[in-house]
Amino acid sequence: MKKLFFIAVAVIIFFNPNILAQDNPKNIIKTNPIVPFFNIYSLQFERVTFINQSFQIVGYYMNSTHFDVFSGGPITGFCITPEYRFYISYRRSAPNGFYIGPFYHYYNAVVTANPSDWAPKNVGGTYRLISQGPGVIFGYQILIVDKFTIDMFGGPAFYFASNTEFKPVGVIGWTSFPVGGLTGRLGFSLGFAF
């Protein structure tokens, strides 16, 4: 009888790992409060999946003339980044404390460059960039009175361009060129937990 009881408890815990979880909120909606000043809008959703793990999806939309470091011209596009977080804090459970999070980043943008700005051979035109790649972030998320979060993170990423094209002014068609390499991801967000 004791064996049957032990097996029943083990099965319940195995099929419902949240049964041992603390009463932390399970969902968080977040945004970066700084990027709207550059006409970049972010929305993030994090869902606690296990006692020390969570899944997050990040989305950005860009329509900016202020934040293009390459051409000075307007940039429009979007970015989607799914990530999975492993909270490693000793006495805290997700979504609170230190974490490590592998992610995959997808970025699609169009940049317009003037002939005097940065461009291959100083030729103006339109650049279409579709890049993607994996990475890992290290971060710390603070849960304040079980309702608000502050999330700070950073880490390395490797991006490769699956489609990078340039269309010079007055030319029909696109010319491809390679872009990619090791870079980083750094961020800050504020959130509401429920």
Is residue 21 included in any domain, yes or no?
A: no
Is residue 8 included in any domain, yes or no?
A: no
pLDDT of residue 5: 59
Residue 125: give the domain boundaries.
26-193
Q: Is the pLDDT of residue 12 over 60?
A: no
pLDDT of residue 20: 46
Q: Is the pLDDT of residue 23 over 70?
A: yes
Reported as a pLDDT band with limits 50, 70 and 90, residue 188 is very high
pLDDT in tens, 135-159: 999 999 999 998 999 999 999 999 8
Is residue 11 included in any domain, yes or no?
A: no
Q: What is d(CA 34, CA 125) in angstroms, rounded to the nearest whole number?
A: 29
Reported as a pLDDT band with limits 50, 70 and 90, residue 162 is low
Averaged pLDDT, 123-136: 81
Q: Is the pLDDT of residue 173 over 80?
A: no
The CA angle 56-139-161, to the nearest 5 degrees, is 65
Is residue 41 included in any domain, yes or no?
A: yes
Is residue 38 included in any domain, yes or no?
A: yes
Reported as a pLDDT band with limits 50, 70 and 90, residue 94 is confident
Q: Is the pLDDT of residue 65 over 90?
A: no
Q: How many domains does the chain have?
A: 1
pLDDT of residue 21: 47
The percentage of residues in the chain with a pLDDT greater than 90, rounded to a whole number, is 46
Q: What is d(CA 194, CA 143) in angstroms, rounded to the nearest whole number?
A: 11
Is residue 15 included in any domain, yes or no?
A: no
Averaged pLDDT, 70-97: 85
Q: What is d(CA 40, CA 153) in angstroms, rounded to the nearest whole number?
A: 19
Is residue 18 included in any domain, yes or no?
A: no
Average pLDDT, the chain: 80
Q: What is d(CA 85, CA 56) in angstroms, rounded to the nearest whole number?
A: 8
Q: How far is CA 170 from CA 74, 104, 123, 133, in A?
A: 18, 36, 11, 33
172 by Cβ neighbours in 10 Å (0-12 / 13-18 / 19+) ranks as exposed
> Residue 39 belongs to a domain with what CATH number?
2.40.160.20
Q: What is d(CA 61, CA 39) in angstroms, rounded to the nearest whole number?
A: 8
Is residue 2 included in any domain, yes or no?
A: no
